[in-house]
Amino acid sequence: MWVGIISLFPEIFGPFLKFGVIGRGINSGLIKIDFWNPRDFSGDPNGAVDDKPYGGGPGMVMKAQPIFSAIEAAKKERGSDLHVVYLSPQGSPLNQNVLKGLLEKRNILLVCGRYEGIDERLIERVVDEQISIGDYVLSGGEIAAMVVIDGVSRFVPGLLGGETSAHDDSFSDGLLEHPQYTRPFSWAGRSVPDILLSGDHQKIADWRKSEAIDRTSKRRPDLLKSRTLTEKERKILNKNIEISNE
């Protein structure tokens, strides 16, 4: 997987790229990250890349040309088939399906805005997709870019220790993940559920599904509204509701 990043502050990514899944992916060659800084293409003696917004208002707006030139430089180096993504609170909400779709693009170019955003004309001309990581405002798109990179990297074949790990994560099948336990068996007066020690893989799978449906219905009922439950899952949900009402 290749990811290009356009950012005024590429140094922010330093520690993020050195550790964990991302660091392992880069070291193994499964992930490659490149940067372009719009300041290098500003044409201004002081490297200015922003200016006051037309029509008045607070803050500054990033100019179109420096970012456009950075994108063109990325395409010249990597090829023209780059999927250009602008990290924006006005974009589509990020979820597992969006991440899977990005992986299929193979070459992703993430544009990190700053200040009040970037000139709309640039978005109209070169941006293929806008993505939001939530209904809140950050100082820039760098943190959002890290979220996207971390999320999509989990689907890169061969990167995770277990090939099914990403598919078992929360949201992968539209549900929150079931509870997880490890040693010791007893901690702070609480023990691991006996069924996880039974060795019966089918019963364990059924228990995990039941727990996933139960906590999703309690913590994120909105997810169930957008997901079509199987007959078996609906029976589990109804049973959990009956137990809760007892």
Answer yes or no: is 161 within a domain.
no
Q: Domain residues for 78? A: 2-153
Catalytic, 194? Answer no
**Which among 34, 72, 78, 116 is annotated as catalytic?**
116
Q: Coil, strand, or helix at residue 214? A: helix
Q: What's the domain count of the chain?
A: 2
CATH number at residue 78: 3.40.1280.10
11 φ/ψ angles, rounded to the nearest 5 degrees: -65, -20
Residue type, 16: F
Answer yes or no: is 163 within a domain.
no
**Which among 72, 169, 173, 206 is annotated as catalytic?**
169
Q: Is residue 141 domain-shared with residue 109, that is, in the same domain?
A: yes
Q: Coil, strand, or helix at residue 206? A: helix
Q: Which residues pair with 92 in a beta bridge?
A: 131
Answer yes or no: is 178 within a domain.
yes
Q: Is residue 84 domain-shared with residue 28, that is, in the same domain?
A: yes
Answer yes or no: is 39 within a domain.
yes
Give me the pLDDT at residue 174, please. Answer: 85
Answer yes or no: is 218 within a domain.
yes
Q: In 3-state terms, the chain is what percent helix, strand and coil (to 5)?
A: 45, 15, 40
**Which among 89, 177, 179, 215 is annotated as catalytic?**
89
Tokens coding 188: 């702070």
- Nearest to residue 114, comparing CAs of 133, 138, 85, 92? 138
Answer yes or no: is 27 within a domain.
yes
Give the chain's largest Cα–Cα span: 72
Catalytic, 106? Answer no
Give me the pLDDT at residue 169, please. Answer: 57
Q: Is residue 181 domain-shared with residue 126, that is, in the same domain?
A: no
* pLDDT tens digit sequence for 78-87: 999 999 999 9
Q: Is residue 148 domain-shared with residue 186, that is, in the same domain?
A: no
Give me the pLDDT at residue 106, please. Answer: 84
Give me the pLDDT at residue 148, please. Answer: 98
Terminal CA-CA length for the chain: 51
Q: How many residues does the chain have?
A: 246
Give me the pLDDT at residue 86, please. Answer: 98
* pLDDT tens digit sequence for 155-187: 999 998 654 455 555 566 789 999 999 999 999
Answer yes or no: is 49 within a domain.
yes
CATH number at residue 185: 1.10.1270.20
- Nearest to residue 230, comparing CAs of 175, 176, 190, 177? 175
**Which among 66, 119, 142, 154 is annotated as catalytic?**
154
Mean pLDDT (10-residue bins), the chain, 246 residues = 97 96 96 98 92 95 98 96 96 95 95 96 97 95 98 94 55 84 94 96 95 94 89 91 81
Q: Is residue 41 domain-shared with residue 134, that is, in the same domain?
A: yes
pTM beyond 0.85: the answer is yes
Q: Is residue 125 domain-shared with residue 195, that is, in the same domain?
A: no
Q: Is residue 149 domain-shared with residue 189, that is, in the same domain?
A: no
Catalytic, 89? Answer yes
- Domain-terminating residue out of 98, 123, 153: 153
Asked if 68 and 126 count as a contact pair (C-beta separation under 8 A), the reply is yes
Q: Is residue 128 domain-shared with residue 233, that is, in the same domain?
A: no
Asked if 45 and 59 count as a contact pair (C-beta separation under 8 A), the reply is no
